Amino acid sequence: MAELVDALGSGSSESNLVWVRVPLSAPTIIIKMSTLYLPIGIVFLVALSFVLISLLASHFLGPHRNSLVKDAPFECGIESKDSARVRFSIKYFLIAILFVLFDVEVVFFYPWAVNFQELGLRGLLEIASFMGCVLVGLIYINQNKVLNFEGRNVPR
């Protein structure tokens, strides 16, 4: 028979102790919450120290020579010719947002596909309503011709 054992007694107000269910014949175990998170803190400190040591070493040990060639803008081995302030059609951003939106919605189908037998009729109705909402959004996009690029100014 297992009983709930209070490691410090009934009058303790320590909030960082964990209640452990042990049989009465087992020895009492006291686990502090700080010891549970100690490995995570150590890994965090090691990672942080690695980053700081790497940054400081590259700053102090690396050369500091500036020139016109080193300070010039560089992209993919091609010299820049025009301004970087080129106007893009809003269509590219709409396509990107729609892709993310429908991609995230497809992610919600996976848990349903894994558990569709356990979910039964209720799960089927829920996924049908979800698919209905997705379909309404797709119809709205199609009616407003968001994905139609013909006759528009599309940058080359």
- Looking up tokens 């025009």 gives 82
Which pLDDT tens digit goes with each residue over 99-110?
888 888 888 888
Q: Which of 14-18, 82-86, 140-144 has the lowest mean pLDDT?
A: 14-18
Give domain limits for the chain: 2-30, 35-61, 90-143
Fold of 90-143: Methane Monooxygenase Hydroxylase; Chain G, domain 1 (1.20.58)
Which pLDDT tens digit goes with each residue over 46-93?
999 999 999 999 999 988 888 887 777 766 767 667 777 777 777 778
pTM of the model: 0.40
Asked whether residue 18 carries a pLDDT value surpassing 70, the answer given is: no
Highest mean pLDDT among 95-104, 111-120, 123-132, 138-147: 123-132
Half-sphere exposure of 68 (CA within 13 A, CB side): 0
